[in-house]
Structure 1
């Protein structure tokens, strides 16, 4: 009975929103949560009070056009409200490794399953504390296994977004959150920018479960404006 009442309540909330806003919320819930064996894990991201995120690039500098990469990072700074800084220091928050998976595993201590170095051209890893605030993130691209430039650019940017805690996918071939890389999904679409900005909204609380975030988004007084913001 309790589940039925909750379902009816959520349905009434959703009904009060227009279809565009409903779709925006649904898209966000899909990209924000990491699904493991059919269940969504609690939401992860960098802590609200952490103003500066540092990243370090190690290995072959493939797919790195300085101008477009700086534009990408600058856009993320605007959307997340964080300062994202390139560093060569040993103490960093995010590692971008371009090289072989076995070497990436050795450097980071990441557990790579047997055969993964043959099958996969990218890998990512994250650690968080008991409040699900990100503590460290890393990802690897294997240039020798990437066939096209746009595929490399896609994985480079998508890996960074995973390092910000945005782990899911949507069925939109023009989105960087699309499952497959393509020439139309390697850059941030307007929807992508809205979804990234929403992930770092102060009402999207780290550690929350799927149903809590869903209700909170439908309760946001300006959610219709966020769904249409011209970023």
Structure 2
């Protein structure tokens, strides 16, 4: 009697196709994505239509006011990596690294994940309508922070799969990568007064909400394509 379980898709060489979202992490990252979505919505509702910082924003901003030239240069460099030219360079580098490691799904996620995350952040900005500096610049959530976090999550998922990490170690690595990237880019945006701290938090959570879902869709779509190719080859050799 055949097994009721769905067979894992395989490459033409017969090797199993590595998932970009490791099965051991799906439940935890799904829960984290759900919580991140709630945070994005709650902050968006609280600051919808506002043009001034909240109490938490004002307190955190005071800690980075008057940042000196060395750190300002670092902040400007981080900011460049979130601009179109800088982000394009990062995505190309990520795609190239994924292809060198023979992880085409991760390469697709590098592009699709970053695009979906930035797209979601852009849409949320229009819906929330929060501005900064009183000149109509939409600020919530931070697209720069969302992009940096999304790319870090993609790299961390690739590393988790390559290293064969378990649920606990893999989840910790993914969250640590997201935290470091989000804090670095978010801190730079606050230091440059381009965003409020809650904007950066919203961007961070946007990436945490979008990337797991996008990774799951990449795996599901790729699995179907692999299955179709395998079925076509079996019919051809009958």
Give the alignment's TM-score, normalised by structure 2.
0.28
Higher RCO (C-alpha under 8 Å, 6+ residues apart): 2
More strand by share: 1
Give the alignment's TM-score, normalised by structure 1.
0.28
Q: Based on CA coordinates, which of the two structures has the bigger radius of gyration?
A: 2
More helix by share: 2
